[in-house]
Structure formats: structure tokens, C-alpha cells
Structure 1
Amino acid sequence: MILIFLRTFAIGLLGAIIFSFIGLPIPWLLGSMLMTLLFQLKSSWKIGWHPIFRNIGLVIAGYMIGYAFTLEALQEMVRYFPMMLLINVIFFILFIAVSFAVSKWARLDLGTAMTCCAPGGLQQVVVFAEEQKTLNITVVTFYHVMRLLAIITFVPFIVSSNHSSIAAESPLEKYSWILFGLMILCYGAGIVFQFIKVPTAYLLGPVFFVMICNLLSIPVPVMPENLLHIAQLFIGIYMGLLLKRDKLKKMKSHIVYAIGSCVILIGVAFLISEWMAHHFMDFATSFLSVVPGGVDQMGIIAASIQAEVTVVTSFQLFRILFLSIIIIPFVKYMVHREQRKVRS
């Protein structure tokens, strides 16, 4: 088992080094993810990754995101609330339209199609699909994994082509026992959040823990950049292992529809972001805020390119809230309505 983990780590590290050498964006995340995905699909070698490494990566990312949440940043976020609500309403309408199209063309029941097309929230949607029993969990997982991989692959290129990342001057970054102790406490916060069933617990636990430290004026050390690279590497390897070879073979007929729905969502996000970039914020921040990815992935990309990580995280957290309160109950209602039609 240790040999498998070491082999997987070496494969991911090789991808990160290659992407760094040829100057591609977010190399530690993208390189490790795509190299691991390539080996997963094409090689006969057995590779695997323990969830604890992903959790460590999320804790590091959560620390860095929480570090940016100061009182001033939180006060600034209040003015974006109407924009958050408007964007999610637009995506809700789009989600309904795309769901009906996928249901018709891919010959899926409406409940499964709507669950496949729900914008963002991989973990919440998959758990919901498992609870419903009547939905095709394999198809739902495939659509969301395909969308997540597509977003993580293409978003950094879109952002980097519209955003010149200039390394911001920051306080001296160094390792210390205080930093090490806070990281352990952050991991503990992740465990607590997981226990109370908060989504993306190992990211949001540290975010809120470090944010509270900031608000209480407790000194929080700056995160060394090398630790962010480790987080990207660990998360990238995990992402690369999400798409299994056997599932891909079974889902060939759905690949076009999965990619098509993803292109529509990213395209609409791009148009909204262009408009926002002219009125509210820079393009990188607006696109990472609007695109229906995960709060963990978008947050770590934002931190990597010096976008406004507090804005990105706030928009993505609001999306999770909107998904949980509006979209999932709506899908549940539609599923039950379809079941009543079948029975009658």
C-alpha cells in the first residue's frame, strides 16, 4: 500500500514539475491532476491516494483563505449580496433549461437529469442522489466529475489569459512552531465541521477558525508559498483519481451531453464575469466567483494567482447555501412529482 501511495505521489509530482517547466498556469494543481488522470485511464499500474492527504491539502488551503478574511474584507462583502443572489437566480433558470434538454436528448429521467445538471456542490448532490434511491447515482457522479475536471482544467487558462498575475509583496514567510500548532488546530476544526456535517469540512473548518483568530486580533503567521504548492499537489492527485476507467467505458453515450452542459455553464459564467469585470472587480476574481466550481478548488486557484480570495470564497459559499436551500429541495420536489405520475 505504501508503494502505491509513493508511486502516485511521484506521478503527481512529475506532472507538477513538467507543467512548471513549460510555464503552464497553476502547475502544482493542474500538472498533478492531469498526469494522475492520464495514468489512471491509460496505465495498468495500480495507483491510489489516501483521503487524509486530500484533507491536509484542504486544511492548508483553508488556512490561506481564512488568513485573507479580515473585518474590512467582511464589511466589503455586504455590498455584493444582491449580485450573489442575482447570479444564482440566473444559474437556477439556466439549470432548469439545461436539465430538460439533457433529459430529452440523453434519455434520462427528469430527476436524474436535474441532479446531473445542478450547478456546483459535487458532495451535496451525490449524497442527495444516494438518498433518493430512484436516481441513477453512477450517471450523476459521472456528470459532476466530468464538469469538475473540465472546470479545473480550463478555468486557470481562461483566467490567466485575462489576468496578469503579479506576485504581491507579502510579509516574510517562514515556518514556525506557532504555524505548526495552528495547522494542527485547523485540522481539528475540520474534524469538528465534518462531525456536524458541514460540506467541505476540512476547508471551511480552517477558514472559519483562522478568520475568527483575525477578528479577535490573534496574530496569525503568513502561510509559506511552498505549503500552498503541497496543498495543490495533494488536491490535484485526488482530483485526477476521481474519473475511473471502467466508469468512463460505461458512460460513453453521456460524454457529449456532460461536456455540452459544462460548456454552457462555463460560457454563461464567462459572459457574466466580463460584465462584472467592467463594473465591480477584476476578471479573474469575478470569473472564479461566478463559475460553478467548488469552493475549495476556486479558492485555491484564487490564492495562487493573487485574486481577491475573500470575494471568491464568499460567492462560492453563497452558491453552496443556495444549492442546499433552493435547488436540492426543488429537485426533490420534481423527483417526487415524477414518481407520483408514474404510479398514477
Structure 2
Amino acid sequence: MEYCKTLILSILGGIAMTYLNAPLPWTLGPIVFVALGSLIRKRPFHWSLRIRNTALILLGYAMGRPFTLETGRAILAQFPLMITATCITVAAGVLTAWLMFRHTKINFTSCLLGCVPGGLSQMVILADEIRDADLTAVTIMQTLRMLSVVFVIPFLTIHVLAGSSHAAASAGTAVHAAGSLAEILTYAAVAVLGAVLAKKIHLPTAPMLGPILSTAAFVVITGTAAPVVPVHYINAAQVLVGAYIGSSVDLTRLHQYHGMGKVLLGGVLLVLLVSMGMGCIISEVTGTDLATAFLATAPGGLTEMGITALVVGADSSTMVAYQLTRLLFIMLVFPYIARAIVALYRRKTDNG
């Protein structure tokens, strides 16, 4: 019964945002309505992780299906740019953390983990492992950053950048194209198998990344064209994902840390400007359209940026490659960088 209430509220949110011409209405609508609904009734709505993961499998398939061998070669050629963009984005996050520390009473460790543009869950887990980190502060900062990015980046991409390329125009040209039942069942099995294998080997965002990789690999190996996902299926998947994000946001905690909001929003703006600059450079150097380049370097999550790429018809393969590079860097390399920065700061404060 609780899931039904969440679903109804999510659908109403999607409809309302559609009438308001908001970016990503079927994702942002459920987030806003479910989060505000939890705040008003003073207890959270709930949503199933399994349902969200099922929706991510569909979205992952939709992002993986345009991949070709030529796309793979182009991505490999851009790998140095991917590493450069990742390092610059992380550096902007570290600068934001320093500004946050200087203007609030939150300790430097918590600011560092709260401001770097990684995934919410990954940063919270890392905060739990590092001494002196304030888990609540990190959670609130990452939540505010996520909400800012989820609202701002789709708006910029859809209403400002998409018009600079033919991406948006081509997004819906084949939305009604469908394969045979055998093709649909085959690719469904490939996507589900990819999600299962990705979870087994502990890949980040496995329910989405697994289908992206397995679908892309199957398309390249077999040389077949994967069936297009009808647009209303994409919208339904967005509702299911947005419901989960909205149920995970606890707005009642935002008042606990005064002075955080303005600094964090300024930091988000800084990272967005850096990402926009990197996107312009990548677009000029590689010939990639600006919408794709911006989504590739934007400090959002793979899920949110992937949905935006599908909506505007951006190159999902290139976007995923850049976002995955940053995600893996933050998960595998940044913990050591964070610990080193914190240790250096402690030595300076102890000696000073």
C-alpha cells in the first residue's frame, strides 16, 4: 500500500512538471513531490530498490544500444581528455571543500567528502571509514549537491545546449521503431544478464552499467541493430527511478547546518562553470556536439546524466565513457587522495 501511495504521488509529480515544461519532468516530478510529501507528513515515503534497479536495466539498455565499433575507437582516442576532465572536476570540488571549511564550522574532512562530485552513496560510505568525518554533514552536502545538479544540468542541456546541435531533433525520430519479438527477448536477456554479471563483480551502478556494457558488446559482436525503446517506456522508467531518489531525500535535516547552503550552491556553480568550460574544449577538439560534451563532463550521477542524454538525443556512449571514468577515479583513486589531503592538513594543524 505504501508503494502505491509513492507511485501515485510520483506520477502526479511527473504530470505537474510536464505541464510546467520542466526539464526531465518524469524524473524531477517524482523527486520533488515525494520529497516534499515526506516533509509535509513528517515521515518518509518508501520505494523498492528492486523496482528502481529494474528501471535502471531498461535505461541502461537504451543507453547501450547506439554503441558501435567506431564509437569505441573514438572513445579510446579521447581517453587522455577523459582523465584530464576528471582531474579538473575533482580539483574544483576540492577547492569548493576548502571554501566550505573556511566559511562554516564543519571540519575539513567532512567538507572534502561532501563537496567532491562523486556519488552520494560512495561518499557516505567513505565518510564512514575516515576518522573525524561528520556522516550527517557529508550526507546533507551530497544531497544538496545532487539536487542542484539534477535540476540545473537538465535545464541547461535541454533549453540552452540542445539547440546547438541536431541531437534534440534526432532524439525522437525512431521512438516508435520496434524489433521482432525474438529480437526484443534476446536483447532483454542480454541486458538482464549484464546487470547480474555487473553486480557479481561489484561494478558501480551495476543495474545500469551492466546493461550498457552488455548491450554495447552484443551490438558490436553480432553487428545487429538493437530495437529502440518506445518513449513512454523511458518515461515510466524515469518515474520509477525518480520515486526512489525522492524517497531517499530527507529535507528535515537541511536546517541542521547553518551557512552551508550558500557556500555549497556557490561551489556547485563553480564546478558547473568548470564543466561547461571543459565541455566547450572537448567539443572543439573532438567535434562532439556541445550537449554531449557538457553531459560527459557534468558533475552529476550516471543515472541522471544518462536520462538527460536519452531525452535530448545526445551521444550516450561518449557520455557514459566520460562519466564512468570519473566514477571509477572517484571510487578507486580518490579515497587515497582524500586520506592524503586529510593527513597533510592534520600535520599542518598539529605543527601550527
Compute the TM-score of the two structures, normalised by the length of structure 2: 0.88
Matches within 5 A, 1:73-152: 73-152=71-150
Within 1, Cα distance between the matches of 2:17 and 2:251? 24
Q: After superposing the two structures, state which structure 1 stretch, 125-134 or 310-319, moved more.
A: 125-134
Letter of the aligned partner of 2:126 in structure 1?
F
Counterpart contact for 2:191–2:214, Cα < 8 Å? yes
SS state of the match for residue 32, structure 1? helix
Match runs of 1:10-21 below 5 Å: 10-21=8-19
Number of aligned residue pairs: 342
**Corresponding residue SS for 2:292:** helix
CA contact (8 A) 1:17 1:31 kept: yes
SS of the residue 1:172 aligns to? coil
TM-superposition CA deviations, 1:140-160 (whole Å, max 9, x none): 111111111111111111112
Measured in 1, the distance between the counterparts of 2:258 and 2:247 equals 18
The 3 A distance-change label for structure 1 pair 247 and 180 is farther
CA distance in 1, matches of 2:189, 2:253: 37
Note if contact 1:175-1:224 (Cα within 8 Å) is conserved in structure 2. Answer: no
Match of 2:222 in 1: 217
1:220-264 superposed Cα distances (whole Å, 9 cap, x missing partner): 332222221111111111222232133223234422222222121
The residue aligned with 1:199 is 204
- Structure 1 residue 272, shift from structure 2 partner: 2.8
Give the TM-score normalised by structure 1: 0.90
Q: Could you tell me which of 64, 67, 77 is aligned with 1:66?
A: 64
Deviation at 1:5, TM superposition (A): 0.7
CA offset at residue 112 of structure 1?
1.5
Picking from 258, 261, 267, the partner of 1:261 is 267
Residue 39 of structure 1 corresponds to: 37
Pair 56,133 (structure 1): closer, same or farther in 2 beyond 3 Å = farther
- Point out the more displaced range, 334-343 or 278-287: 334-343
Match of 1:158 in 2: 156
Match among 275, 278, 284 for residue 272 of structure 1: 278
Which of 224, 245, 248 is the aligned partner of 2:251? 245
Aligned to 2:318: 311
Aligned identity (percent) is: 24
Say whether 1:287 aligns with 2:291.
Answer: no
| Aligned-partner residue type, residue 58 of structure 1 | L
SS at match of 1:281: coil
Aligned-pair Cα RMSD in Å: 2.4
The answer (yes or no) to whether the contact 1:59–1:203 under 8 Å persists in 2 is yes
Alpha-carbon displacement from aligned partner over 1:94-119 (angstroms, at most 9, x marks no partner)? 23322222122122222221111212
Q: CA deviation at 1:340?
A: 6.0
Uncovered stretches (5+) of structure 2, i.e. residues with no partner: none
Segment of structure 1 superposing worse, 253-262 or 60-69: 253-262
AA partner of residue 207 (structure 1)? I
| C-alpha contact 2:51 2:240 (8 A) present in aligned 1 | yes
**Amino acid of the structure 2 residue aligned with 1:183:** A
The answer (yes or no) to whether the contact 2:23–2:158 under 8 Å persists in 1 is yes
Conservation of the 8 A alpha-carbon contact between 2:64 and 2:316: no
Please give the alpha-carbon distance, in whole angstroms, between the structure 2 residues aligned to 1:35 and 1:320: 28
Residue type at the aligned position of 2:265? I
Q: How far, CA to CA, are the matches of 2:256 and 2:35 in structure 1?
A: 17
The alpha-carbon deviation at position 46 of structure 1 amounts to 5.0
